[in-house]
A and B are shown apart, each in its own frame.
Chain A
Amino acid sequence: MPDQAMLVAENVHRHFEGMRAVDGVSLEVPRGKITGLIGPNGAGKSTFLAVLAGTLPATSGRIEFQGVDITRAPAYRRARMGLVRTFQLPSEFSRLTVLENLLVAAPRNRGDSLWGALLGRRYWIEDEERLVAEARGLLARFGMTAKESEYAGTMSGGQKRLIEIMRALMLHPRCLLLDEPMSGVHPRVVGEIQRYLQALRADGLTILMVEHELHLVEELCDSVFVMAQGKLIGSGTMASLRRQREIVDAYLVG
């Protein structure tokens, strides 16, 4: 139903050096649901996510976020509008501490401009303290309180994943684009992230998630899009997709 769509992609293409990484994908990400994006390796899922987020420009096509055409908007503006992505490869700010990684993301900080900086601590300390408290809350939720003052670059792969998710959450996003958020994360923490995402969904957050672990997809996602070779080849619930021969074939694993 169109009025429930959070994020709309219309015939999006992404061609680069002769390769059609995304070859005319059209889909609608429903509001307030967790939607999966699955497909074999090289299907173009991450590239598509990047194009939605704006970190890669679309070669052609149209993208709408909450009814606003964002096709030409740069990534940082999309993030400020509430469309936030995480990355497949570790992308923590390695020479900042874990806490600082989260604080960077926070948008409403008066000290985050040249003039704010020059006006000095007294000008921005209130915002800062509020955000430190908020960040610490997140760290506690995800069990990383002890690591607050460690360099993010020294964290394990799973911990870096968590930092990325927490960072994205500091932005109070409307729609989260997650690129394999559970890969490398300790099983216990996977459960924690799952519960957190479900709680956020209950609060109205929309999530589009690229994920390889199909059992996770089944547990978490309300519906799923399937991509292969840059094209969208199916959508629906996992159960309905399993019945479609081409999907199963394309995917190689059931």
Chain B
Amino acid sequence: MSLYVAAFGFGLVSTSVIALAAVGFTMQFGITNMINLAYGEVMIASAYVAYYIDSAGLSIWLAMIGAALFGAVFSFPINRFIYAPFQRRGTALLGMVIVSLAVSLMISNLMLPIVGYFSVSYRERFSSLLRLGPLALTVNQIAIIFLALAVMLAIHALLRYTRLGKAMRATAANPTLARSCGIPTQRVIDVVWLITGALCGLAGVVAALDSDSFTIASGAGFLITALAAAVLGGAGQPYGAMLGAVVIGMVTELSAAAWSPDYKEVVAFAILVLVMVLRPQGLLAKRGALAAAG
């Protein structure tokens, strides 16, 4: 039983890590209808940036800020100069998948000569355990949970209470209508990609912190897990992504406790495939993700 309580604790951590990644990812999907398959690679690249800052002896918080900045600065041009032009041209949905796959391939292989093949990890810190009965988490992990909570609240506040947030929701729902209401949709899209890029960077560091070590190859796993949470919650719905993160975080950790940790990722992947096939619109979405009827 205590095994499951401990798994619950890990589930909270996983949820936090996944939520940070999934919310940014789903917002990119919501505003540009773009499944950004390069998201995982940007996460990893940002994690490496943080790693270099960390190795230089600087504070981990500085490293996180650096990663978030890097993520923002990296993601923005990818949309502006690659995705958007292809979309404007009328490239079909499948074509955009191929484009983003090509971009992700290029990013990961450009990183290779720079960072090398070997796995790296951040400096040991805050690894003292805090116990609450059978629940045992490191300070590191608790910090991650609080960080994720803070970011989720900030996103909520942004979407609900700010003008920018309202503009974002309007643009995502109906860009033409938004434009005719005077909303500068192009600028809104740019800002969204900067914000979600920063989230992506932050998520990358957090995910890397949560693993023992990471390499370039970790990017695919991060991406698919974030994708799974986003699709499960309903593509384009930030609150859905949070819900999806809870489900996937908990289910993967509990399955790891019940069977074997080797298949943790596979469980997340399997959930993604099942959701896509059985309920593509996700849990929260009102709009269908089914093929457009002719």
Contacts and interface: CB of A to CB of B under 8 A. Distances in A.
Direct contact of A and B (CB under 8 A): yes
Interface of A: 17, 50, 55-56, 87, 89, 91
B187 interface: no
A70 to B, nearest CB: 19
Nearest to A88: B294
A180 to B, nearest CB: 14
10 contacts: A17-B286, A17-B287, A17-B288, A50-B293, A55-B293, A55-B294, A56-B293, A87-B294, A89-B294, A91-B294
B279 to A, nearest CB: 15
Nearest to B286: A17
Contacts of A50: 293
A203 B287 CA distance: 45
A56 B294 CA distance: 9
Question: Which bracket fits the contact residues of B?
Answer: under 10
A87 B287 CA distance: 24
A89 B287 CA distance: 22
A87 B294 CA distance: 8
A55 B292 CA distance: 12
Contacts of A56: 293
Nearest to B287: A17
Contacts of B286: 17
Given A56-B293, A87-B294, 8 more contacts: A17-B286, A17-B287, A17-B288, A50-B293, A55-B293, A55-B294, A89-B294, A91-B294
Say whether chain A's binding surface is mostly helix, strand, loop, or mixed: loop
A54 B289 CA distance: 20
Most chain A CB inside 10 Å of its own CB: which residue of B286, B287, B293? B293
A117 to B, nearest CB: 26
B91 to A, nearest CB: 16
A214 B288 CA distance: 36
Interface string B261-294: 0000000000000000000000000111000011
B116 to A, nearest CB: 46
Contacts of B287: 17
Contacts of A91: 294
Nearest to A87: B294
A54 to B, nearest CB: 12
Contacts of A17: 286-288
A31 B286 CA distance: 41
Contacts of A87: 294
Interface in B142-166: none
A148 B59 CA distance: 72
Nearest to B281: A17
Contacts of A89: 294
A90 to B, nearest CB: 10
The 10 A-B pairs of least Cβ separation, nearest first, read A91-B294, A56-B293, A87-B294, A17-B286, A55-B294, A89-B294, A55-B293, A17-B287, A17-B288, A50-B293
A250 B228 CA distance: 48
B180 to A, nearest CB: 20
A53 B288 CA distance: 22
A87 B293 CA distance: 12
A91 B286 CA distance: 28
A44 to B, nearest CB: 14
